[in-house]
Amino acid sequence: MIPTTVNGLKQIPYKGVGKYKPKGFKAKPPIRSCTDYPADGNKVVKNLREALKRCGIKNGMTISTHHHLRDGDAMTNLLFDTIKSMGIRNIRWFPSASFPCHKHLIKYLEDGTIHHIEGSMNGPLGRFTSLGKMKGVGVLRSHGGRYQSVQDGEVHIDIAVISAPTADPFGNANGVTGPAACGLLGFALGDSEYADRVIAVTDNLIPFPCVPWQIQGNNVDFVVKIDSIGDPTKIVSGTTQVTKSPDRLLIAEYVARFIEEAGIMKEGFSMQAGAGGTNLAFAVYLHERMKEKNIKARFIRGGSTKYLVDMLEEGYADYILDGQTFDLEGVRSMRDNPNHINTSPFTSYNYHGKGNFSTMVDTAVLGATEVDINFNANVVTHSDGYLLHGIGGWQNCLFSKCTILAVPSFRDRIPVIVKEVTTLCGPGELIDVIITERGIAINPKRKDLIHAVKNSGLPIKSIKDIQEEVYKICGEPQKPKVNKNKVVAIIKWVDGTVLDSVFQVVSK
C-alpha cells in the first residue's frame, strides 16, 4: 500500500523505528559573493514580482513559506497571486503548514499554478486533496521531517519566501516585534540556510540593525515591504482556550494526576504540552500540583501559551524552549523574557542530527484523531478518510520518555478508540499511555509505568476494554469509502521513509 515513486521521485518504505540509517552528506546551497549585493547593505526591491523575477523564478520550481502567522497569514496568498500574474505554473509549494486562510489557493491548484503541496494541510486544502483534485500527490511530514528533508537533499528549495514581522534592509529579521509579531521564525531557519534564493517580506522595515535577528541577512537575497503580512491575532486559531467540557476537563485532571503518581513530576523534570483545550487544561492542573509540592521544571517545550508563560513567570520553570508561539502572551514573553528561548526544528526535532531535544523531554502530552488497540495513532485524517489536519511536531514528540495521548473516547458519537486507525502516523511502540474520560490504558511494554501507578486509584484499564466499551455506546464505525487505486497523499516518518498512504475519498 506504499507507493515506491511519488511525484516522479523514488521513495523508501518505512523500515521500523530507528531501522533506516541514512548515508551521504548534507545538502548545500550555492556559493554567493558579496560583490553581487549592494555595498551599502540595502537589498530592498520595489515589490514581490520584482524579487521573484530577480530570483529567476520559472515553471516547476519549489517555493517555500512558513506558518508562524497560522490562520492570520496574508503574505502567502499575495505571493501566489503574484506568481499567477507572472504566468508561472507547476509550482511545488513547500509550506511548514497551511491553514483555512489558504483556501484562496485552491483556484491555483485547480488551474495548475500550484502542482501539489508538500506540507501539513489543515482544513479546506486537506479536503480538496482528499477528493483527488490535486494534480500531484501531497506529502505530509512532521516539523522535524521537513527540516530533515531539506538538510538531506530530498527537497531542494529554489526560492524561500519568509514573512518577517520586522526586518531591516539587509535582511535581518525577527518575529517578536512589529505590528504582525508572531513570536519566533524557527520554521523558516532551514529554508534561509539551504534555499538557492531567499526573499524576506515585511510590513515593518526598520533601519539596520534589526535586533534581535532570528533570520540572518547574510542568507537573504532580497527584501520586500508590503502593507501587511497578516493578522497576528489569528495565530490563536481557536486552539488556545481551556476546554469547558466536563469530559475533557476530567481527561486533563487524569493526565496531571498520572504524571504526579507515576513519579514524572519531580524537581528538574521537563515536559511538552501543545495547544488544544484539553492540553491547556492539563497544564493548569499540573501547575497547581507543582505549586502544592513546590516542584520546578527545568524546561518546558512549547508551543507556548499564556499558561506555560504563567509557569515561567511564577518561577515553576527555568526555561521555555519554544518551537512556535500559540498566543500573543507567548509572543510578549519571548520578546521580553531572556529565559523564553526561540528554537528551530534543527535543534528540537531533526532525526538526522547529532541528537535532538525531543528524547530529553520527560513527558509529552499530545492529542490524536484516532488511536487503535495496538496503540497506533492517527493525527491527519478522520474516520471518514478526509485529510483535515497536519502532523506538526507530533511525530517528533513521540520520542519523549513518556508519551501520553489525551483523547476523548469518542467525538460526535464516532469512536476515537478503534480497532485499527484509518491512517498510521505514529507506531504504537512509541506511545506509552492513552488517557480518556473512560479510563487510562498503559502500553504493556511500559511495565515500569504500570508498576508506578499500581496503587494510585487511577482508573487503569486495557485499551481493548475501552475500545469495546466505546463500540457498545457508539457502534463500530464504518470504514471510509475510498479509491485504493488513487493515492492522494503520503505520510512520511521522521527519517524520510514512507509510513502510510492516504487514498482518494469517494464522496457520497
3-state SS assignment for residue 119:
coil
Backbone region of residue 109 per phi and psi (left: phi > 0; alpha: psi in -120 to 50; beta: other values): alpha
3-state SS assignment for residue 225:
strand
Sign of torsion over alpha carbons 409, 360, 118, 85: positive
pLDDT tens for the chain, 508 residues long, are 789 999 999 999 999 999 999 999 999 999 999 999 999 999 999 999 999 999 999 999 999 999 999 999 999 999 999 999 999 999 999 999 999 999 999 999 999 999 999 998 889 999 999 999 999 999 999 999 999 999 999 999 999 999 999 999 999 999 999 999 999 999 999 999 999 999 999 999 999 999 999 999 999 999 999 999 999 888 875 555 677 889 999 999 999 999 999 999 999 999 998 677 788 889 999 999 999 999 999 999 988 989 999 999 999 999 999 999 988 999 999 999 999 999 999 999 999 999 999 999 999 999 999 999 999 999 999 999 999 999 999 999 999 999 999 999 999 999 999 999 999 999 999 999 999 999 999 999 999 999 999 999 999 999 999 999 999 999 999 999 999 999 999 999 999 999 999 999 997 5
CA 370 to chain centroid, in Å, comes to 18
Q: What are the two backbone dihedrals, phi and then psi, of residue 299, each rounded to the nearest 5 degrees?
A: -150, 155
pTM: 0.96
pLDDT tens per residue, range 125-138: 999 999 999 999 99
Q: Which helix (H) or strand (E) holds 200?
A: strand 197-202
Identify the structural domains of the chain with CATH numbers, from first to last: 37-118+155-235 (3.40.1080.10), 246-480 (3.40.1080.10)
pLDDT tens per residue, range 386-401: 999 999 999 999 999 9
Q: What are the two backbone dihedrals, phi and then psi, of residue 198, each rounded to the nearest 5 degrees?
A: -135, 130
